[in-house]
Amino acid sequence: MNTKKIVITGGPGTGKSTLINALIKKGYTCLEEISRQVTLEAKKEGVDQLFLTNPLLFSERLLKGRQKQFIDADVYKNTTVFFDRGIPDVLAYMDYIGDTYPEDFIDACNQAIYDAVFILKPWEAIYTKDNERYESFDQALQIHDNLINTYKNYNYTLIDVPFDTVENRTNFILQVLDM
């Protein structure tokens, strides 16, 4: 049996990282979101918001990081690995801002196939902005639509995670996966 690769995706501020942290606490293997890491590395290079100033460079770094995560997950044989966002998220964000990207972005999505994708809808009650999250709630809704379109474009059936407590959302995901 191979590693089962599960994506938890959604627009900004939907509770993805909170769910990932809850899964980690339950002992599941999770690979955390890397966009904050890319943003912080760019700040060390003197670029305050790399996604805003050079979206293609930001997305290339993100794509490489997510491809590495996808490959690295194979180390966990006979288990399930959860990802805080997947490779198609990179394309969804580029489409959201209306920017073009090279063919290798598309190739990356076609080559890295996830076993299941859970999507979290924007939830105004929990939405907050911070230093790395600059989008408004309306923008989060637009990003959500782009995520749906992008994942469907790569033939994924998205599983909606209902609004609920962290515990119930976590249990929902585990029940769907029969874990």
- Please give the backbone phi and psi of residue 31, each rounded to the nearest 5 degrees, phi first: -110, 120
pLDDT of residue 135: 75
DSSP E strands in 51-100: the ranges are 80-84
- Domain range enclosing 118: 4-176
102 secondary structure, DSSP code: -
- Please give the backbone phi and psi of residue 82, each rounded to the nearest 5 degrees, phi first: -100, 140
pLDDT of residue 57: 86
The three-point CA angle 141-102-36 to 5° equals: 50
Q: How many domains does the chain have?
A: 1
Residue numbers of the chain with a pLDDT score lower than 50: none
pLDDT of residue 2: 83
Bridge partners for 82 per DSSP: 6, 30
pLDDT of residue 46: 84
pLDDT of residue 33: 87
CATH number of 136's domain: 3.40.50.300
pLDDT of residue 43: 85
Kindly give the pairing relationship between strand 116-120 and strand 158-161: parallel
- Per-residue b/e over 103-128, b at no fewer than 16 CB within 10 Å? eebeebbeebebebbbbbbbbeeebe
Is-contact 160 94, C-beta < 8 A? no
Is-contact 30 49, C-beta < 8 A? no
**Distance between CA 22 and CA 128 in Å, rounded?**
19
- Please give the backbone phi and psi of residue 59, each rounded to the nearest 5 degrees, phi first: -65, -35
Distance of CA 31 to the CA centre of its chain: 10
